[in-house]
Structure 1
């Protein structure tokens, strides 16, 4: 892509890109750091999983409200406030560690607050983008944002987070705090007002209800949302306790803390590979068959650690999972953008996320409980089985159904 095309996106877009990229780096660091820090307090699968439960619980509790609020208030200010909240929470925990008054319970509170900030920042970032670039630039702008997110969150962030925890917990917490502060500062320098224009006054409840009603009535989108939610349920259960399987001399894999983030980078590497081949595979297989293939790949990747603790094989499983994850996202998200009417996009997206991502805390809690009951390998197999069960959905989620849903929608393409 030439520099002239990049510059055509405008200065304001690149300010958003810079803020989001720095925030994504911090996201990757704290996501890998929190379960590693929790190991300093406990080896209980339930308590380890509880960290992920609280970090993702805001998606279940606040996704609908975040989407509706983003359609009412200045979106730049929402994002600045969200990262300010995360900065304050992380700085407070870092101070408690430095003073020796930290505890698992403080870590749990931290996870909840940081997760809340994530819901409002990430959800609003998608809504503010159409206010910064022209409609025909949205695809290219989203490509820049998604590429930066994968690079910073899944590669650099996870690698750095694991290393910093191995060095000192204070550094592992204070570094993302500083990054959130820089991200907020960049947004403060973003000129303009970003409160959306609205028609007649409506209540927050009616706004949310309109989004829910649209998603519920749309069979294809409803099915995709439920399927994504079930897959995320299994993935969250898997990842909530996988650290116990991978890290420490008493674990099956016996990895040191710093290597844990590197192992998780396999998913990011697979995602990059998936992004490169999705278009070609979609043209060859069709969207419905490609989605079905990603379900099978996801199940096999989750089942693999139940059969072996070999580092190379488990890493290969993470890579294949990343390939499938990216394929699913490219197909499902693009379809959603083409179907949903522009005036409902924010609210329907928030409803979709509630179904798709609201299962994350439930999955993490379930993962801890099943690990106590079935053991880690039993949990991995149960997670894989939950993905395979989704194959029954493709009796109705056919290529013909996907095409018909697009043709029947008055929406123009928009993220």
Structure 2
């Protein structure tokens, strides 16, 4: 075990964890501003649902295209350095876009290019960030560590990020796209003071293809992890479809909610308020209900988040549903991510995370595209109802990942037996 993990086991989560936590919060705040600012800036160029949703498609497309080689990269190099490089790249890319806007060279297509390239850097950062966690804290602390980390990430991304993006867009597109540059810069400083080396020792070199195949094989042979990947893939398809066109549902006099960009930010922030509650209670919910039931409750809450906008245009009701859904998202994520980190060897964690996200996150761009086309063809309300129903089907999948099966998988991992 690495020295940082030993220190964490002796003293709780430890100082290194909180440095990582700080970097995660700042990076997530930058992500939240970018994610919400891009469609709001794009509305100034077009009102087409297909083109607006296409930005979400472009932003998440790298998970479908780059996930597997990124996983190999994360398992071969120091994971902290990978996170540093990703943040440097994202800050530089947004700085270039700000300069383009300053010289009146901005367009919907410039936003598309930025979305794709920033998305590539995001795949590197997020894969490394999940893979580094067991090295920073002991595996016995993963539920608590992931709960706190998801809390700050989702609060920053979904609570502070949306209203901040709304205010910044109101002040000007350059402000909205320039603020993340400064946030990523501060996150870089937090990562620089993270102590220790986070490169996994490898007994023998392997080809890129061999490393990718090893990660995919591990995922395929672990029935629980394979089921999780499919479930999260369906979940992200549905949420990706809704979030891709949510601005059209909520913002402007032509929308159903008729909100301003600032009010839209506060509405979306209700998801993060639920996330905050979930981060505080996820560990307790897991102990009280068991992991399988916690997953079922999480999916039920998310179905409510997606489905309520199909039946009402009352902001308070929609906001309440967003709060409940945000709570459920954290509870289900903590259960799945903590189990994945516990039963996967450190040397495989980068590739396993990338293989998981290829399936689980590769559906996001597909969902964004589907959301745009369904909204244009059938209308926003029908699209919301379809995606809510899709998430409800996941509750049946919980039967395949019982508490007994998850406990058995952890026993096998602790014994060092093959999956």
Cα separation, partners in 2 of 1:141 and 1:6, compared to 1, 3 Å: farther
Question: CA separation in 2, counterparts of 1:144 and 1:319?
Answer: 18
Cα separation, partners in 2 of 1:230 and 1:187, compared to 1, 3 Å: same
1:234 and 2:238 equivalent? yes
| Number of the residue aligned with 2:229 | 225
1:255 and 2:259 equivalent? yes
Cα separation, partners in 2 of 1:294 and 1:151, compared to 1, 3 Å: closer
1:381 and 2:385 equivalent? yes
Match of 1:407 among 390, 411, 418: 411
Output the TM-score relative to the length of structure 2: 0.90
Which has the larger displacement, 400-409 or 247-256? 400-409
| Number of the residue aligned with 1:176 | 180
For residues 60-90 of structure 1, give each alpha carbon's deviation from its aligned partner in whole angstroms, at most 9, with x where no partner exists. Answer: 1112211210111233332222112111211
Cα separation, partners in 2 of 1:286 and 1:214, compared to 1, 3 Å: same
| Number of the residue aligned with 1:149 | 153
| Number of the residue aligned with 1:72 | 76
1:341–1:410 contact (8 Å) kept in structure 2: no
Cα separation, partners in 2 of 1:293 and 1:151, compared to 1, 3 Å: closer
- How far residue 206 of structure 1 moved from its aligned partner, in angstroms, is 1.1
For residues 318-370 of structure 1, give each alpha carbon's deviation from its aligned partner in whole angstroms, at most 9, with x where no partner exists. Answer: 11111111111122222222322333222212211221111111110111111
Cα separation, partners in 2 of 1:316 and 1:205, compared to 1, 3 Å: same
1:274–1:326 contact (8 Å) kept in structure 2: yes
2:67–2:355 contact (8 Å) kept in structure 1: yes
Q: Mind listing any 5+ residue stretches in structure 1 that lack a counterpart?
A: none
Q: Secondary structure at the match of 2:77?
A: coil
Q: Secondary structure at the match of 2:414?
A: coil
| Number of the residue aligned with 1:286 | 290
Question: CA separation in 1, counterparts of 2:345 and 2:138?
Answer: 17
Q: CA RMSD in A?
A: 2.5
2:33–2:161 contact (8 Å) kept in structure 1: yes
1:200 and 2:204 equivalent? yes
1:58 and 2:50 equivalent? no
Q: Secondary structure at the match of 1:198?
A: coil
Question: CA separation in 1, counterparts of 2:227 and 2:133?
Answer: 27
- 1:5-24 equivalences in 2 (<5 Å): 12-24=16-28
For residues 46-68 of structure 1, give each alpha carbon's deviation from its aligned partner in whole angstroms, at most 9, with x where no partner exists. Answer: 10000000101111111221121
Question: CA separation in 1, counterparts of 2:391 and 2:226?
Answer: 17
Match of 2:130 among 126, 129, 149: 126
1:349 and 2:344 equivalent? no
1:340–1:411 contact (8 Å) kept in structure 2: no
- How far residue 8 of structure 1 moved from its aligned partner, in angstroms, is 7.4
- How far residue 391 of structure 1 moved from its aligned partner, in angstroms, is 3.2
- How far residue 193 of structure 1 moved from its aligned partner, in angstroms, is 4.8
For residues 123-168 of structure 1, give each alpha carbon's deviation from its aligned partner in whole angstroms, at most 9, with x where no partner exists. Answer: 1123334555566666665455333323322222222111101111
| Number of the residue aligned with 2:5 | none
1:325 and 2:329 equivalent? yes
1:335 and 2:339 equivalent? yes
Question: CA separation in 1, counterparts of 2:339 and 2:12?
Answer: 26
